[in-house]
Amino acid sequence: MSQKNPVDTKRPLYSIFRYAALHNKKLTIGLVLAILISVTVSVTPPLILRRIVDELTAENATLPFLIQAGLLYFALTAVSGIADSVKETIITIFGQRSTRHIRSFMADKLSRLPSSVFIENDSGSLASLFVNDVDTLEDLFDSGIISMISDVFRIVSILCVVYFLSKGLMILLFLSLPILFLLTRTFQRRMLSAQLDNRKAVAGINQAIPETIASIRTIRLYHRESFMEERYGKSVRAGFDAMNRSNLYDSIYSPIIITVSSLIIAITVVLSVSRSDFQALFGMSAGTAVALIAYVGKVFSPLESIGMEIQNIQSAIAGCKRIGDFLSEKEMEPPSAAVSEKEENIPISIRHLSFAYEDGEPVFHNFDLTIHEGENVTLIGRTGSGKSTLFKLICGLYQPSEGTVRIFGRAPESIPEEERRKVFGLVEQQFKPVSGNMRDQITLSDPSISEEDVRRALAETGILPAIEDLPEGLDTPYDPGLLSQGQFQLLSIARATVTNPPLLLLDEITANLDSVTEKQVLDALRAASEKRTVLSISHRLFEAAGGRQVRIGH
């Protein structure tokens, strides 16, 4: 059933977080609590340290107080660490759950899209949407907005505590943090660009090697070795330069931050003991100085994280928009499950069919075809006349722009998945393996198909003895080296007939076979065609099997 699109392309981040929060209410509450506890607890240990140092420097230091304070310090440090890891775990679970929701939502959407979407978008861009764009979404949850909110809280809470300890240091931090943030962003951008250059160079290297190996004879024959070497060398040099740049930025950044934080602390300490008017702002006890040094050390790490988080958010926005566009694609009308009584006993009935992949270039216009029970029909026509397209329309992969396609009186796309294999079987040009053992190649892991049916289908095609000869028979794990190409094609026929469908669709099934293997397949097919209606694309098959020819196109 169609649900409301969770990603509003105008406000992608807001809509995606709203959706995630509403679908994970308890987790959202847990997350907010974890962030609050983690931030609050993490600012307390330096305050205890301050008390300890002040007590130690005072003349009347008492041991019990020091022991208590020390234990409290360790306890708070431990709680802060635990709270932090709980927060990180909840963020990860929240991210994983939310992306899982969105992934399933997208998968559902995919099954409701009309064929035009698959014609207009190539499979690569759709795959990238499901893999890369959803990955950026996962980053958005894992190391994007939520972590950024937590880091901002952390900085604000440190600044608040520092304000009470030393107003002067607070002013210094307040002034230097924006500058350091800009500096951090500049370094991060440059490092990212160096890493992207390196990735491009590595892709170039990865492409050059197999290409060279695949064309090694041609390269030797035409003496193109130096050209290939030069191309390979260029990518290796580009990768080396990019890595050097990245390492340089990385090695400069940390010393700059350490120098600046030391400088801030030095200025604070110097001013605290200098003129009396500065002392009001900077004056402090030894304990306060130790606590402040700890805070200055703590304030830079969230600052650095915020830079990375902004980067993740930026790439996630683009991904979210693409996901939002995909989710707002117009869906196809649910097919009518009505059965036309007049055509109920007709295996294939096509009336006034019109279909075009692209506007103005119709593949079919007002096309009619009726195939009666027990008939053996072969489609013929020149290359590009639309034979394969007709098969796809009959299988319900595409819908006609006008007219109707009916299989036993039903629109093919309205036949429920679990019934489909019982209505028609399809044999393609080449065997398409699935993961699992040899039995799975026939059943497609459908548990409702019995062992008896599997053996019957294999026996019908004559491949049963070859399967029984395999080390573990039907339980042998699939391997492309187990059978010949022709034997695999026999397996395709068994896969199509195992559910005993009354209709068989054969798409150039002998196209890739030599004449000896072709004969084997044709014999198997003759057995499979008995008491069935068959529609096929193949000249050779027509000659072998007889029946009626239907010409497509002119």
Ligand X SMILES: Nc1ncnc2c1ncn2[C@@H]1O[C@H](COP(=O)(O)OP(=O)(O)OP(=O)(O)O)[C@@H](O)[C@H]1O
Binding mask 115-144 for ligand X (x = CB under 6 A): ----x-------------------------
State in angstroms the smallest separation of the CB of 516 from ligand X.
Answer: 24
Pick the binder of ligand X from 130, 232, 357, 478 (CB under 6 A).
357
Of 386 and 486, nearer to ligand X (C-beta) is 386
Of 241 and 428, nearer to ligand X (C-beta) is 428
Q: In the 8-state DSSP scheme, what is residue 276?
A: H
State in angstroms the smallest separation of the CB of 357 from ligand X.
Answer: 3
Q: In the 8-state DSSP scheme, what is residue 340?
A: -
Of 163 and 357, nearer to ligand X (C-beta) is 357
Of 359 and 418, nearer to ligand X (C-beta) is 359
| Footprint (CB under 6 A) of ligand X, residues 365-404 | 381, 383-389
Distance CA 453, CA 531 (A): 17
Distance CA 438, CA 498 (A): 14
Tokens of 11: 């406000």
**Which ranges of 222-369 would DSSP assign to H, the alpha helix?**
225-272, 276-282, 286-327
| Footprint (CB under 6 A) of ligand X, residues 478-497 | none
Number of residues engaging ligand X in binding (CB under 6 A) = 11
State in angstroms the smallest separation of the CB of 386 from ligand X.
Answer: 4
State in angstroms the smallest separation of the CB of 413 from ligand X.
Answer: 17
Pick the binder of ligand X from 169, 363, 407, 509 (CB under 6 A).
363
State in angstroms the smallest separation of the CB of 119 from ligand X.
Answer: 5
Of 343 and 507, nearer to ligand X (C-beta) is 507
Residues 6+ apart with CB under 8 A from 288: 50, 54, 165, 166
Tokens of 377: 């029909």
State in angstroms the smallest separation of the CB of 390 from ligand X.
Answer: 7
Residues 6+ apart with CB under 8 A from 329: 109, 113, 117
Binding mask 77-116 for ligand X (x = CB under 6 A): ----------------------------------------
Q: What contacts 24+ positions apart, CB below 8 Å, involve 42-45? A: 42/80, 42/83, 42/84, 42/154, 42/298, 43/154, 43/157, 43/158, 43/161, 43/295, 43/298, 44/76, 44/80, 45/73, 45/76, 45/77, 45/80, 45/294
Q: Which helix H or strand E contains 405, and what residues bound it?
A: strand 402-407
State in angstroms the smallest separation of the CB of 505 from ligand X.
Answer: 13
| Footprint (CB under 6 A) of ligand X, residues 17-36 | none
State in angstroms the smallest separation of the CB of 385 from ligand X.
Answer: 4
Of 357 and 478, nearer to ligand X (C-beta) is 357
State in angstroms the smallest separation of the CB of 397 from ligand X.
Answer: 10
**Which ranges of 352-509 would DSSP assign to H, the alpha helix?**
387-394, 417-423, 438-443, 451-461, 464-468, 485-497
Task: For 396, list phi and psi in degrees, rounded to 5.
Answer: 80, 15
Is-contact 101 19, C-beta < 8 A? yes
Task: For 364, list phi and psi in degrees, rounded to 5.
Answer: -130, 140
Determine if 512 is a binding residue for ligand X (CB under 6 A): no
Binding footprint of ligand X on the chain (CB under 6 A): 119, 357, 363, 381, 383-389
